[in-house]
Structure 1
Amino acid sequence: MVKKDIHKLLKMLGCTRIKETRRAVMGNCPFAPYLHEGGRDFRPSFGIFEGKNSYFNCFTCGKSGRLSYLPFLLYQYSGKYNKFINSFIQANDYSPELPPPKKITETKDNEALHDMLGTFEMPQPKMGLYDNEKNIELWSLRYDPEEKALVFPIFDKDKNLVALKGRVVGKHSFFQYNEFPIKQAGIWYGMHIKTKYKKVILVEGERDAILLSYRGIPVWASMGAEVTESQISTLRKSDKAFILFFDNDKAGRKLRDQIIKKCGVFNDLYAVTDYCHCKDPAQLAERGLLGKALRSVKPVSLLAKQKIT
């Protein structure tokens, strides 16, 4: 679907604050009443990507898929089927009906992405923030001046570069430079960084992971508030114990409970129980409260007795 038609579709979906990025058109998420904290999307976090294989993705709630699936997915939550939206997508989206992506059993290093990464600039270091000198090197961070975005290289467990993600500086706006299905491949952001520690912290966002790693803590990020079965399988196969430190909101608690349910018999699990009234690990780090939060880590068996604040 071309950007002109994406603008029309977003308006039909009731999206506001519509804006364009390099490869997508962003607007407020139509799933916000059902999946976002407080039922609202305060940032334009829902994007529809242009091209022959158009797809949608919300960088807050994690809902994503082929554009042709969107009307039916909305119906599951709202109970209302909009035939006009479905007809508009069928008339203007040229991608064929395809099944969900198959599970990826192996990945390989992408030379073209290495070349692209080499064209970007080094971020300016700011001590105490996620783009300090130590983290620039550890996470191979780069800056795209054209998009005004910090670039996050995504590596698999064998350190193969498989994708590049961008975050527009000063905005909660993400995009991906290539169409590799990162999460379907079972990848967690940061899993390529080797560590001697037996425990790894699990968070949602790349920025959470980077801010925590600055303090020498091994961290993996799910890259959103939802995980795939392949990502679950990655955890189950690991010999690590995991500390659950997802965002302190409805979506984060749902993700925590999902990991406990699906990995509890495979991995030793712990959870942060005191968020000091902060919304996520990044905010805790910025306010100097990270140490206090980490001292509240308890085995998940005690979660029912511990109130998370």
Structure 2
Amino acid sequence: MTPEQILKVLKLLKVKVPASQQRSGWVVASCPLAPFTHDGGTDIHPAFAVKKEDGDPACHCFACDFHGTLGELLIELHAFNKQHKLLEPELSAALALIEEADNAFALDLDGPDIEEVLFGPKAKPHVFPEWWLNSFPPALEIGWAHAYLASRGVPDKVATALDIRADGNERRVCFPVRDFAGRLRGLHGRAVDADTEPRYRMYCQGGSNNPEIWLGEHWIDWERPLVVVEGPIDLASVYRVYRNVATPLFANPSAPKLRRMADCLEWITLFDRGKGGDAGRLKVGKLLAKDHVIQHLEPPPGRKDPGETTLDELVQLIAKYVKLDEILID
């Protein structure tokens, strides 16, 4: 969205936009969620900002810790607003502006070399050196990491196939992220200890990372149905029975990131239960339903996400939609 479009949306949401506090690359404002999530119901010192970027822009509030896109924010507001009915016409108008900006950013993808389409010929993707990855030992060689993966139902065969590593300094199990050409473009870490923040970390190398890359790009078969999950442990769970699985590493990825995988014409979403998964399902349906076959699945009752789903439950859930691969167990 352009700064002008962002300001129009914020005006519809009736929030204060102090001109004196605008930062390069961001529009600063009081938080639209303040009446529902802030102490006292106000945001006296504006702590909310929207990024000036194409499509559905990212936004964050440093007071209530909301983090997502402007479209996700509207979903939150709609949920809070059901009883009060204070902004219903304005919410509809704001959503229309976001959809207009998102649709204007639609890309006609002609192949997997999407980096050039997104960033132009002058943009050079940051490729992580293999020696840097080798500074993280294989998770199966580190006791606590191996034990954690076992506790999450990740077999050794899957850990080896995904090349899962361990970060001993932060006690994270780490998943190498490679692009369509197999180049190392990132490392995504998941904290083992419950009190470690942030729980997920996208590592930088040389001060750079590549958030547009999916985990699973380099093994995807475009001719088979694509199973899409939210996170790396979810991917490892599905990988036990079906290899054509990938994750954008976010619950509700941006439109360009979704379109990066648009050459797969049949999608099966298996997002988490809850608002984050609902937002992801809504985004996939909105952007891809016209030209793709999409099936939305949810984990079985009592399971929050695919990472908690047992092998038998997973087989029953997806076997009717895909031809399962050889099941990987220890």
Instruction: Note the 1:47-86 alignment, pairs <5 A.
Output: 69=26, 72=29, 75-78=31-34, 82-84=43-45, 86=47
Quickly say closer, same or farther: Cα 1:265–1:148, change in 2 above 3 A: same
SS in 2 for 1:157: coil
TM-score of the aligned structures, taking structure 2 as reference length: 0.56
Deviation of 1:284 (Å): 1.2
- Contact kept, 8 Å, 1:208 with 1:282, in 2: the verdict is yes
The one-letter code of the counterpart of 2:240 is Y
Alignment match of 2:203 (pick from 166, 177, 197): 177
Take 2:240 and 2:151, find their aligned partners in 1: how far apart are those partners?
A: 8
Deviation of 1:273 (Å): 5.5
- Contact kept, 8 Å, 2:178 with 2:184, in 1: the verdict is yes
Take 2:261 and 2:138, find their aligned partners in 1: how far apart are those partners?
A: 32
RMSD in angstroms over aligned alpha carbons?
A: 3.5
Deviation of 1:296 (Å): 6.4
| Sequence identity (%) | 17
Take 1:107 and 1:201, find their aligned partners in 2: how far apart are those partners?
A: 29
Deviation of 1:130 (Å): 5.7
* Residue 131 of structure 2 corresponds to residue 115 of structure 1: yes
* Residue 312 of structure 2 corresponds to residue 284 of structure 1: no
Quickly say closer, same or farther: Cα 1:203–1:107, change in 2 above 3 A: farther
SS in 2 for 1:244: strand
* Residue 257 of structure 2 corresponds to residue 231 of structure 1: yes
TM-score of the aligned structures, taking structure 1 as reference length: 0.60
* Residue 133 of structure 2 corresponds to residue 149 of structure 1: no
Take 1:129 and 1:107, find their aligned partners in 2: how far apart are those partners?
A: 37
* Residue 119 of structure 2 corresponds to residue 104 of structure 1: yes
* Residue 283 of structure 2 corresponds to residue 266 of structure 1: no
SS in 2 for 1:75: coil
- Contact kept, 8 Å, 1:130 with 1:214, in 2: the verdict is no
Unmatched tracts of structure 2, length 5 or more = 1-22, 36-40, 56-117, 141-145, 323-330
Take 2:153 and 2:134, find their aligned partners in 1: how far apart are those partners?
A: 20
Quickly say closer, same or farther: Cα 1:197–1:212, change in 2 above 3 A: farther
Counterpart residue number, 2:74: none
Counterpart residue number, 2:62: none
Instruction: Note the 1:1-309 alignment, pairs <5 A.
Output: 69=26, 72=29, 75-78=31-34, 82-84=43-45, 86=47, 99-100=52-53, 103-104=118-119, 108=125, 110-112=127-129, 114-124=130-140, 125=146, 129=152, 131-171=154-194, 173-178=199-204, 180=208, 182-183=210-211, 185=212, 187-195=213-221, 198-236=224-262, 238-272=263-297, 275-285=300-310, 288-295=312-319
Quickly say closer, same or farther: Cα 1:281–1:131, change in 2 above 3 A: closer
Quickly say closer, same or farther: Cα 1:240–1:159, change in 2 above 3 A: farther
Pick the structure with greater CA Rg: 2
Counterpart residue number, 2:328: none
The one-letter code of the counterpart of 1:213 is Y
The one-letter code of the counterpart of 2:132 is M
The one-letter code of the counterpart of 2:168 is P
SS in 1 for 2:291: coil
Of 157-166 and 122-131, deviating more is 122-131
SS in 1 for 2:282: helix
The alignment covers a number of residue pairs equal to: 219
